[in-house]
Structure 1
C-alpha cells in the first residue's frame, strides 16, 4: 500500500499524543508567530534590514554573514534562521495533530496552512531584501505574518473544541458587531504598516525609499481607528451584558479592553518621545496582542461540539479505541471552558 510509506501515518500508528499535548503544540505556534513579528521589527529598528545584502545567501559568496558585516549581518541572518525554527514548531504540530486519536483532518489542514504561509512569507522576505527594503513589500511582509498569527490562533481554538458545526452563542446581530470589530482592528493594523512605511525607521542606515506620505497625518488616522476599535469594544461589552451572553465571552471583551488601554499608552509614549526604537518595538508586540485579543472575542461567540470520530485504519480500530475515548474525554472540559 502506498500510504504505508507515509511517515506521518507510520508515526500515527505507533504513537497517540494526549489532547493536552495537541493544544500545547498549537499554542507554541501562536507564540512563535508573535516572536517572528517582534524579531522582524528588531531587524528594522536596529537598521539591520540589509545586514545580509542579498537572498537566499547572505552575500554573493557566503551563505552566512561575514565578519566585516558586523552586528547588522548577525541580526538579519538570525531572523532568517528563526524561520527554520518556526517551520520546526509547525512541523511538530502537524505530526502531533496527525497522530492524535480520534483523527481530526481539520487540524492537520490548519497546520499545513501555517506551513505554506511561512514559505510564502520567506519568499516575500527575500524580495524585500532584493528590492532594497521597498516599503510596500515590507508592509506586505508584516501583514502576511499577521495572517500566520490569525491561522495559528484559529488552530489553537480548534484544538480546544470539536469538529461539529459551529453554533452561535449570541444573536446574529451581535455576531455582526463582532465582525465589525474584526474589520476595524484589521484596518488599524494595515494603517499601522503605512505609518511604519512612511516614518523615520526605514530599516537600514542607507537612504531607503519611503511611502510618500506625511507620517504624522497617517499617525492621526491610525489614532482615529484606535478610537473606533475602542468604541466598538465598549459597545460589544454592553451588548453582551444586555443579552446575557456567556460569561466567558464577556471576559474576552474585558481582556481586549485592557490590551487596548495598554497599547494606547505605549502608542502615546512613543509619539511624544519621538519614536525611540525600544518603545516602537513594544508597540509592535502590542499590536500582536491586540489582534490576538480581537480574535479571542470573535471566536468566543460560537462553539463547536464534538463530531463523530474518523474510523481508524483497518486492523487498528480495536487497539486504538480505548485511546480514542480517552482523548475525546480529555477535550470536553476544555471545550466547555472556552464558551
Structure 2
C-alpha cells in the first residue's frame, strides 16, 4: 500500500484557495493526455445530444416531471415511474459525466507545460455552457417541453461542441496570430459554408419542433408551421451546403491548397452524403425513431466536419518568446488569482 503524503497547513490552505494551481504544481500531463482530455469533452458533448434525442424519441421527456428533483418527493426516478422515468433520469446523470469530462480537460489544460491561459479559458467556457444548458434543460421540463426551449437546448449543445472542437484543435497550435493558408476568396467561400451549415442546423430544430416526436406521450405544443414546407426548406439548405462543400473542394484543388484542407473538405462531403441519405429515408418512412436519432448524430458530425475544414485553412505557429510558462515554473505572488 502506497502511503498518502501528509500535507502541511500551508499546502492545505493553498489547495483550498487555488486547487487547480495546487494540482498543476504536482502533475504535468503529457501532450497526449491533454489531447485525450479535450477529446473526451467532444465525445461526451456528442453523446449528451444523442441521448437527449433518445429521451425525446422514446416519449420520456417528462419521465421526470419536475426539476432539479425527479419528482416532488424524490431526487431520483422511482420504480412507479417505469421505463420513461429511468430514461430521463439516466440522461440527467450523463450530465455529470459530461461535467467530469470537461473538468478533466480543464485540469489537464491548466497543468500542461507551458501553461496557456487561452486554452484554460476555453475549458472554462465549456463548463459554463454546460451549466447554462443544465439550467435550460430544467426550464424545458418545467414548461412542459415547449418546442422553442427544446430547440434552444439543442443549439446550446451545438455551441458546446463548437468550443470543445476549437479547444482540441488549439492544443496543437501556438498563441501567435493565425496565418491563412489560402486566399481571401477561398476563406470567404468557407465562411459561407459555415453560415449555411449553421442555418441548416437551426432550421433542423424547427423541423423537429413542428414534427410528430414531441418528447412525451401526451399532447405537447408544436411549432405552428407547415411541417412539409419547413422540411423542404431544410432539404434545400442541405443541397446548398453540399454544393458549397463540393465547390470548396474543387477550389482548394485548383489553387493547390495544402493537402489537409483538401482532405477535410472531401471528408465533409462524405459525411454530408451519409446524412442526406438518412434524412431522405427518414422523411419517406414517416420519421422512424431510430433514423431520427441517427440524423441527430449526423448533425453533430456534419458540424464538426465543417469546423475542421474551417480551422484547417490557417496555421498558428508557436511563439516561444511569448509562451506562458507552466504554473510550477512561475513565481506567483501569494494571493495570485486562479486562472
Q: TM-score, normalised by structure 1?
A: 0.91
Map 1:16-35 onto structure 2 (within 5 A).
16-35=28-47
**Which structure 2 segments of 5+ residues have no match?**
1-9, 332-339
Deviation of 1:303 (Å): 1.0
Structure 1 runs (4+) greater than 3 angstroms displaced: 1-5, 311-314
Picking from 48, 51, 64, the partner of 1:39 is: 51
Q: CA deviation digits over 1:158-209, x for unaligned, max 9?
A: 0122221111000111111100000000000000000000000000001100
Deviation of 1:137 (Å): 0.3
Distance 1:83 1:237, change over 3 A: same
* Structure 2 partner of 1:82: 94
Deviation of 1:3 (Å): 6.2
Picking from 284, 288, 291, the partner of 1:279 is: 291
Deviation of 1:317 (Å): 6.4
Distance 1:60 1:300, change over 3 A: same
Q: CA deviation digits over 1:37-91, x for unaligned, max 9?
A: 0000000000000000000000111101111110000000111111111001100
Picking from 298, 310, 316, the partner of 2:324 is: 310
* Structure 2 partner of 1:327: none
Report SS of the residue matched to 1:14: coil
* Structure 2 partner of 1:9: 21
Q: How far, CA to CA, are the matches of 2:170 and 2:46 in structure 1?
A: 19
Q: How far, CA to CA, are the matches of 2:231 and 2:172 in structure 1?
A: 38
* Structure 1 partner of 2:220: 208
Q: How far, CA to CA, are the matches of 1:86 and 1:224 in structure 2?
A: 34
Q: How far, CA to CA, are the matches of 2:242 and 2:279 in structure 1?
A: 14
Q: How far, CA to CA, are the matches of 1:153 and 1:96 in structure 2?
A: 16
Report SS of the residue matched to 2:167: helix
Q: TM-score, normalised by structure 2?
A: 0.91
Picking from 258, 269, 293, the partner of 1:257 is: 269
Distance 1:137 1:197, change over 3 A: same
**Which structure 1 segments of 5+ residues have no match?**
319-339
Deviation of 1:307 (Å): 2.4
* Structure 2 partner of 1:233: 245
Indicate yes or no: 2:233 matched with 1:221: yes
* Structure 1 partner of 2:126: 114
Q: How far, CA to CA, are the matches of 1:160 and 1:195 in structure 2?
A: 37
Distance 1:135 1:243, change over 3 A: same
Deviation of 1:238 (Å): 1.0
* Structure 1 partner of 2:173: 161
Q: How far, CA to CA, are the matches of 1:136 and 1:313 in structure 2?
A: 44
Indicate yes or no: 2:146 matched with 1:134: yes
Report SS of the residue matched to 1:176: helix
Q: How far, CA to CA, are the matches of 2:287 and 2:73 in structure 1?
A: 36
Q: How far, CA to CA, are the matches of 2:257 and 2:52 in structure 1?
A: 39
Aligned positions, number: 317
Q: How far, CA to CA, are the matches of 2:162 and 2:45 in structure 1?
A: 9
Task: Please say if residues 111 and 326 of structure 2, whose CA atoms lie closer than 8 Å, have aligned partners that are also in contact.
Answer: no
Distance 1:159 1:213, change over 3 A: same
Q: Which moved more, 1:29-38 or 1:160-169?
A: 160-169
Q: How far, CA to CA, are the matches of 1:124 and 1:244 in structure 2?
A: 46
